[in-house]
């Protein structure tokens, strides 16, 4: 395996990784997600070679065995052998338990990142790096475009070069400007092979079908992440200037917000609706259009979308969680759970804690808001029940609970950082863990 120590042979691959490593100026440990495929294997070996010039950075690696193919255990062990030869600490994590019969790709993705975060903690890593390439970016955009009704949908910006996973650890993608063939050429020049996952060419999977279509594309025309960041910043400024929370559970958007460019207003609205409704994604484009046209109707007009009620008020628009689907949960002592997609709650009592919608009926002195909207806002708040008794108030001293920004609870793309931070302030939510670089 002496060939592993050869110098990098591809200038573009080298330049991409040097730019990434130069951003790290403090002692740091990176966990490389390595499957044994060309992209992740090339990333591991290239980083290993470059770290001779960055002694303050160390590497660890992890392989996730999803258990979906009989060969996966041997492939994970091959990666472990390579890491041992390179002197890199390595962990194998297994996706155990029953697998879903539908949505297997999404479930495997969630399991993969959860297990990678666990491995990072165990190996003392500060961040995770993955081998996503420009080809992956093109495939992702193509798939999203097939499901998009508008040309300026946020998803068409593609994958971000950094993502915060479950507010725990940042995941970086330093190879998004590199083509897959470039990485394969790098490995081949060093006499190294890689594993090809059969699912990558299995037409049963959407990504495999799109990959086959794009395989011969020479014009990669990747989107500018700066454009998505600009929209996020403008949406954040719009919310700061024109959105407030008059009473618990109610968000008010004033009339001036509708003067903003359509793309910015849509981005702000989808984030607000997702957060008020406790959803992991904003409403569909058609529903957003209905909200935007609701402003043209007289006061009192209402529509529902994304588990929210949007009410046209004389001063603008009011958003509140609608009354349906507020399911109770029971937390064991020391258990943490999310209620209604909007509140993260830890039971610090020694007995079970039941969380339900609120039954409080106190009305504010301010009569400017419709009583029905204020009542919905109060109902949408969590109420605690302990040993058969309803706690009279929300007691932060006894129960650790925080509002969360549901859209970004699992994955926060780096280019939406400005918007996410503004939502944290508006909803008085749990702050997000900032990126190290």
* Least confident piece of the model among 27-41, 218-232, 321-335: 218-232
**Mean pLDDT over residues 15-28, rounded?**
96
- pTM of the prediction? 0.89
Q: Are residues 307 and 197 part of one domain?
A: no
What's the pLDDT score for residue 328? Answer: 97
Residue 18, in any domain of the structure: yes
Asked if residue 36 belongs to a known ligand binding site, the reply is yes
Asked if residue 254 belongs to a known ligand binding site, the reply is no
**Mean pLDDT over residues 386-402, rounded?**
71
The residue among 92, 111, 91 whose CA lies nearest residue 100 is: 111
Q: Are residues 360 and 261 part of one domain?
A: yes
Asked if residue 278 belongs to a known ligand binding site, the reply is no
Residue 222, in any domain of the structure: no
Asked if residue 325 belongs to a known ligand binding site, the reply is no
Q: Check residues 391 and 381 and name the one with the higher pLDDT.
A: 381
Asked if residue 306 belongs to a known ligand binding site, the reply is no
Q: Using an 8 Å Cβ cutoff, are 20 and 8 in contact?
A: no
Q: Are residues 65 and 124 part of one domain?
A: yes
Residue 321 has pLDDT above 90, yes or no: yes
Residue 347 has pLDDT above 70, yes or no: yes
What's the pLDDT score for residue 1? Answer: 38
What's the pLDDT score for residue 156? Answer: 65
Residue 366 has pLDDT above 80, yes or no: no
* Least confident piece of the model among 147-151, 249-253, 371-375: 147-151
Q: Are residues 48 and 177 part of one domain?
A: yes
Q: What is the tens place of the pLDDT at every residue in 159-178?
A: 999 999 999 999 999 999 99
CA separation (Å) from 119 to 62, 67, 88, 317, 410?
A: 7, 17, 14, 45, 17
Q: What's the rounded Cα separation, in Å, for the pair 434 and 232? A: 16
Final residue belonging to a domain, choices 153, 187, 214: 214
**Mean pLDDT over residues 271-290, rounded?**
95
Residue 409 structural domain? 227-437
Place of tokens 């302030």: 425
Report residue 102's pLDDT band, with 50, 70 and 90 as the boundaries: confident
Asked if residue 38 belongs to a known ligand binding site, the reply is yes
Q: Are residues 309 and 235 part of one domain?
A: yes
**Number of domains forming the structure of the chain:** 2
Q: Give the CATH number for residue 49.
A: 3.40.50.620
Q: Using an 8 Å Cβ cutoff, are 197 and 37 in contact?
A: yes
Q: Are residues 208 and 292 part of one domain?
A: no
What's the pLDDT score for residue 82? Answer: 96
Q: Do strands 336-339 and 308-313 pair parallel, antiparallel, or not at all (unpaired)?
A: unpaired
Report residue 148's pLDDT band, with 50, 70 and 90 as the boundaries: low
Residue 8 has pLDDT above 70, yes or no: no
Residue 221, in any domain of the structure: no
What's the pLDDT score for residue 387? Answer: 86
Q: Are residues 232 and 192 part of one domain?
A: no
Which residues, 6+ apart, have CB-to-CB distance to 382 below 8 Å? Answer: 339, 340, 343, 345, 355, 356, 357, 358, 394, 401
* Least confident piece of the model among 47-61, 189-203, 223-237: 189-203
Q: Are residues 256 and 197 part of one domain?
A: no
């Amino acid at each position: 395996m002496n060939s592993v120590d050869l110098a990098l042979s591809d200038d573009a691959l080298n330049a991409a990784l040097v730019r990434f490593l130069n951003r790290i100026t403090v002692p740091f440990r990176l966990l490389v997600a390595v499957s044994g495929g060309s992209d992740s294997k090339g990333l591991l070996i290239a980083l290993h070679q470059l770290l001779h010039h960055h002694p303050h950075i160390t590497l660890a690696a992890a392989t996730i065995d999803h258990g979906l193919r009989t060969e996966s255990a041997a492939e994970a062990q091959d990666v472990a052998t390579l890491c041992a030869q390179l002197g890199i600490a390595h962990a194998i994590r297994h996706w155990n338990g029953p697998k879903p019969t539908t949505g297997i790709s999404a479930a495997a993705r969630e399991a993969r990142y959860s297990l990678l975060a666990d491995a990072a903690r165990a190996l003392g890593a500060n961040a995770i790096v993955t081998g996503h390439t420009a080809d992956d970016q093109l495939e992702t955009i193509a798939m999203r475009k097939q499901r998009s009704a508008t040309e300026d949908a946020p998803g068409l910006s593609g994958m971000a070069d950094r993502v915060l996973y479950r507010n725990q650890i940042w995941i970086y993608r330093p190879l998004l400007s590199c083509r897959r063939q470039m990485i394969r050429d790098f490995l081949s020049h060093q006499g190294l092979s890689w594993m090809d996952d059969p699912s990558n060419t299995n037409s049963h999977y959407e990504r495999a079908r799109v990959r086959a279509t794009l395989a011969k594309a020479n014009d990669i025309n990747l989107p500018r992440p700066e454009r998505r960041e600009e929209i996020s910043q403008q949406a954040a400024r719009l919310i700061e200037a024109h959105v407030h929370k008059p009473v618990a559970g109610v968000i008010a958007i004033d009339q001036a917000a509708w003067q903003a460019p359509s793309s910015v207003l849509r981005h702000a609205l989808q984030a607000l609706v997702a957060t008020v409704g406790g959803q992991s994604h904003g409403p569909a484009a058609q529903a957003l259009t209905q909200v935007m046209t609701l402003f043209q109707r007289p006061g009192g007009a209402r529509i529902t979308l994304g588990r929210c009620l949007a009410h046209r008020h004389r001063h603008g628009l009011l958003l509140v969680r609608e009354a349906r689907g507020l399911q109770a949960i029971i937390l064991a002592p020391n258990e943490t759970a999310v209620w209604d997609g909007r509140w993260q709650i830890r039971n610090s009592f020694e007995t079970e804690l039941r969380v339900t919608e609120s039954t409080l009926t106190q009305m504010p002195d301010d009569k400017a808001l419709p009583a029905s909207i204020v009542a919905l806002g109060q109902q949408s708040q969590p109420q605690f029940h302990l040993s058969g008794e309803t706690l009279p108030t929300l007691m932060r001293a006894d129960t650790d609970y925080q509002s969360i920004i549901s859209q970004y609870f699992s994955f926060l793309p780096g280019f939406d950082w400005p918007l996410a931070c503004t939502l944290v302030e508006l909803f008085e939510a749990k702050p997000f863990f900032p990126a190290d670089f």
